[in-house]
Structure 1
Amino acid sequence: MHERTLPTQSPDGTGSPAGTTTRGSSALPAGKRRAGTLAGLAGAAVLLAGAGAVVAAGALLPAPESSRTLPAAAVAVPAGESLGVCPGPARLLEGTEAGTDPQFSPESDTAASSVTAAVLGASGILPASRLSQLDGTTAVEIAKDPGQPPAEGARQELLAGVVANRPVDQATVLSADAVANQQATAGGAMKYTATDGDLQGTAAANCLQPSNDQWLTGASTTVGRTSVLVLTNASTTPATVSLELFGIGGQIQAPGSRGLLVAPGTTRSVVLGGLAPGEARLSVHVRSAGGPVAATIQQSVLRGLTPGGVDFIAAGAAPAVRQVMTGVDIQDPAGVSALTGRNGYQDAGPALQITVPGPSDAVVEVKLYGRDGEKTLPSGGVVTAKAGSVTEVSLAGVPAGHYTVSAASDVSFVASTRVTRGLEEGRPSDVAWAASGFRLGSQHVVPVPQGGLRQLVLGALDTRATITYSAITADGKVRAPSTADIAGGTTASIAVPDKADDADVVGYVVSAAGDAAYGAVLVQQDGRNDVSALAFQPAAAGQETVPVSINY
């Protein structure tokens, strides 16, 4: 992260030196004044003549070397620290006035939150890394400074530094230092579970890199739906955050949505119902000046007295003409249809939400890829999404199973997919939002939260893709790789075992070759309706270069 100092103005706001004044001419005899005036005019004529000569001469002389523009040179940018902000536990909103920060009541008796993370190393060297609190206090030291990096040509055998199921009660920061001018490869996830209270269910979220620009889609502020935007500033620079809100009817002008100050090392929560009440579909564009922030939305549902689920809505891919979401679990279509037809359960089924930030409508083609190939939506799969608003496309009606959702248009948009579990009215259910993901490349660290049923869900779009995945275990070993060959236009699911060679599985190293492929971790609980989805995050960036030009 680089800090920038803005120029300041002088105290009086002018370019004049402070304390200067202008004085009038003194009284002189008339003759002397006239003589002085003539002498001044003659002097001015000489100066003008001299100036003309200088201008003429300057026009004939070649330009000095300092006025030339030098060609742009590529300058290496030092690799920075790998940083991921893990959200804190879900909290029950106790009460607030519109436009103010919220207050929270204690969690339920069974609520538990933990962080699982892994940092990748090679040749016996792990980057200096740690899990810290926002105030900088180290909660877990993963690895100390390794000193000299391994020599070039050394065997690059992988190993990992691991945090396994670490209990947390607040937001935390996973950080790893660069090694040999290469950004460290790391990944973490926070998991919340509860089996009682209004916030029962499972909610998991990746530890995300802070940003100055991000989109979150899937919030709702209608009766029984609570959306709390959580802004975390893990930097040493104050962040001034502005929010752009988009609903069904277009962009929402909300007083109090601009100039939100988030101090360094702090978290600020904003109740979105105070800014945009009664919105069934709400997307938030978060922009910050100064320090970057990590943004998540704690979304919960309460249908009367029946809990309807809790989730952390995370930022997805930036606006683009194609968005892909995988880890989408769809239940029996007949059961979904019967449940969503009941009063208060309209949002209890799977759906794609599309937000078009630009001035032009988007004609979006939606495709679902399942285990056996593409499945046709009853609606046909083509929808016009209005500019500046949020459009919802139901995904109900296809056979039950795991899917990858692809949405494409000639106009940039953002998207997210709602995943639901539970088909009985009056019984607790759960909800999750699958954020739009990133195309898989090389050596993604994929954390796997501990406990429950975990699956890697992998989707290939047009042609065949080959996915290589190696388990990371709690003893710091990276196990022998396995390979999944996925046909184009299909989705494959791989069950995550509890252990590999008697050590707990805490994550995977995943690489892809061939056509565009995407992945997510689907987290569920045996015997319960709990569900959560974690999109694979981008791999670590290598050393970058930027063009720098110098001129006068």
Structure 2
Amino acid sequence: MKIGRIEITGAQGTLGARLILGTVTAVGAVVAVTAAAAVPWPAVSTPPAALEVTPAPAETVLACDGPVLALGRSAENASALSVAAAATTTVGNDRGEEPESDAIAQPTIEGEAAATRYVQRPSGREPVSAAAASSATLDDADLAGFTASACRPPQMESWIAGGDTETGTTGILLIANPGDVNATVQVTVYGVAGAVTPPGAEAIPVPARTQVALPLAGLADGEQSPVLRITATGAPVRASLQSSLVRTLDPGGIDTQSAVRPATTQVIPGLRVVGDAAETEGAATIARLLSESDTTATITVTEAGSGGSPARDPEPVPLKGGAPAEVNLGGLDEGDYTVTVTADAPLVAAVWQTTGFGEDADFAWNTATPAITEATLAAVPEGDDAALSIANPSDEDITVSVAGQGDDPQDFDVAAGDTTVIDVDGGRLYTIDPGAKAVHASIGFAGESALASIALWPDAAHPRPVVVYP
């Protein structure tokens, strides 16, 4: 019995020891797990699969403004629009040929008012670049001056910072649908009351192969500094604004202005101060800005060839969201300038410049230009004193190749932060190649009674790479 008791006692002791050991082990495990949870675990992640793909080139469609229009020349109908002068177009592709063309109807305009569209198809899987631009000179009692504009691809949204509805000014908004699908357009006017969609501008029909012309006074009546946003549905459209001015009885110029795109940095090269504008006390150079958000913009003006040194102190401009602002940039000597506008929020910008305020004066709206990083074909329309302005906003010097069609390329050095101005010939095509660097460029015409500016856009024939996530 004693032995049995000993054996029984041993069994109970073994069981107790096991219970104690199990409890200690469990507590240790909990402590270990708790400690492990408190220690940062190694990050294990798999980035999503992504592939950059360059689409096959598609056809390029360019819509031109067509003839210069006049408002109110008909005694029977003061609101009627009619043709004032035909435009001369310079057009071609990088193979020395001319793209296909056909008419864009303007059924509400009196006279031979059709505009033109050009269609350039790729050669197999190889893109073919095409460019077109037009110009016109007028010397009539109600319209006088020189105007030039580039033929552009259509887009779903366009912004125009320009025009006004004061006495003596006339603005005509041109909305072209060069495609084969009908479009519907909404026009939003930004003015003293913020963003407003005028009655009748909520859904403007723009049939396929048709251009609609709308007097600015009917959209932005009473606005001295309007900014327009044109939003399309159904099909993209090309928007531009024809402006003219009469001071008392003397025509004060004419201009055709293309749309711009919002960005936090806007570069406007090719501002050309000529004639009486450099000596007058009037506001000969005015910048118009708009942001949809409250922000502060900074305007910097540099003279071409100055090494990037500011021609005037950089000027901060408080912007209230949705309200256009204008800044007088007067006091500039005769010469070529680049205006740069920066802000924390996207904005649109354009600069108005005139040759003077007397008889035979002309004016131009200089619009912001997007960056060009690859070889781009540009058309220089007919006109005197044509010049190509190339701005380099970077901190590094850049060499840009420029070649007139049929000529050997020439290299031009553009210093960091500076602008180079190159004489070009009207009625010719040029290829501008910045060698994968980003530059901003424009084509300008300047004389005592002729002023115009065309912003250059990236080549529409080359498709942009897209990122595909399988």
Deviations 1:83-129 (A, max 9, x none): 11010111110179xxx99522452xxx44111012113xxxx7882
Task: Judge conservation of contact 1:128–1:177 (CA < 8 Å) in 2.
Answer: no
Q: What secondary structure sits across from 1:273 in the alignment?
A: helix
The reply to whether residue 355 of structure 1 matches residue 290 of structure 2 is: yes
* TM-score, scaled to structure 2: 0.81
Task: Judge conservation of contact 2:62–2:117 (CA < 8 Å) in 1.
Answer: yes
- The residue aligned with 1:541 is 462
Give the Cα separation in 1 of the matches to 2:246 and 2:213.
20
2:373 to 431, 438, 441: 441
Q: What secondary structure sits across from 1:541 in the alignment?
A: coil
2:334 to 369, 394, 400: 400
Give the Cα separation in 2 of the matches to 1:494 and 1:201.
24
1:85 to 48, 63, 67: 63
The reply to whether residue 324 of structure 1 matches residue 258 of structure 2 is: no
Question: 1:133-532 alignment to 2 at 5 Å?
Answer: 133-134=103-104, 170-316=114-260, 318-331=261-274, 335-338=278-281, 340=282, 346=283, 349-357=284-292, 360-370=293-303, 371-374=305-308, 376=310, 380-422=314-356, 425-462=357-394, 463-472=396-405, 478-497=406-425, 506-513=428-435, 516-525=438-447, 528-532=448-452
- The residue aligned with 1:114 is 88
Deviations 1:356-410 (A, max 9, x none): 12xx312111111212134546564111121101111222123221011111111
Task: Judge conservation of contact 1:78–1:543 (CA < 8 Å) in 2.
Answer: no
Give the Cα separation in 1 of the matches to 2:310 and 2:52.
49
Give the Cα separation in 2 of the matches to 1:453 and 1:331.
12
CA drift of 1:334 comes to 7.9
Give the Cα separation in 2 of the matches to 1:426 and 1:74.
56
Gaps of 5+ in 2: 1-47, 106-111
1:322 alignment partner AA: T
> How many residue pairs are counted as aligned between the two chains?
412
Give the Cα separation in 2 of the matches to 1:273 and 1:224.
12
Give the Cα separation in 1 of the matches to 2:393 and 2:50.
39
Give the Cα separation in 2 of the matches to 1:72 and 1:375.
43
Q: What secondary structure sits across from 1:373 in the alignment?
A: coil
Distance 1:492 1:314, change over 3 A: same
- The residue aligned with 1:158 is none
1:529 alignment partner AA: S
Task: Judge conservation of contact 2:156–2:232 (CA < 8 Å) in 1.
Answer: yes
- The residue aligned with 2:33 is none
Task: Judge conservation of contact 2:71–2:81 (CA < 8 Å) in 1.
Answer: yes
Give the Cα separation in 1 of the matches to 2:98 and 2:278.
51
Give the Cα separation in 2 of the matches to 1:455 and 1:479.
17
CA drift of 1:275 comes to 2.2
Distance 1:364 1:117, change over 3 A: same
Distance 1:365 1:333, change over 3 A: farther
Identity of matched residues, %: 25
Task: Judge conservation of contact 1:356–1:413 (CA < 8 Å) in 2.
Answer: yes
**Which is higher, the Rg of structure 1 or of structure 2?**
2
Question: 1:17-96 alignment to 2 at 5 Å?
Answer: 77-94=55-72
Q: What secondary structure sits across from 2:222 in the alignment?
A: coil
Distance 1:373 1:198, change over 3 A: farther
2:270 alignment partner AA: G
Q: What secondary structure sits across from 1:118 in the alignment?
A: strand
Distance 1:461 1:333, change over 3 A: farther
Deviations 1:247-273 (A, max 9, x none): 244223421111000111111111121
Distance 1:128 1:495, change over 3 A: closer
Q: What secondary structure sits across from 1:523 in the alignment?
A: strand
Task: Judge conservation of contact 1:245–1:282 (CA < 8 Å) in 2.
Answer: yes
The reply to whether residue 129 of structure 1 matches residue 99 of structure 2 is: yes
Q: What secondary structure sits across from 1:434 in the alignment?
A: strand
Distance 1:497 1:380, change over 3 A: closer
Give the Cα separation in 2 of the matches to 1:350 and 1:375.
19
Deviations 1:233-258 (A, max 9, x none): 11111100001111244223421111
Distance 1:77 1:397, change over 3 A: same
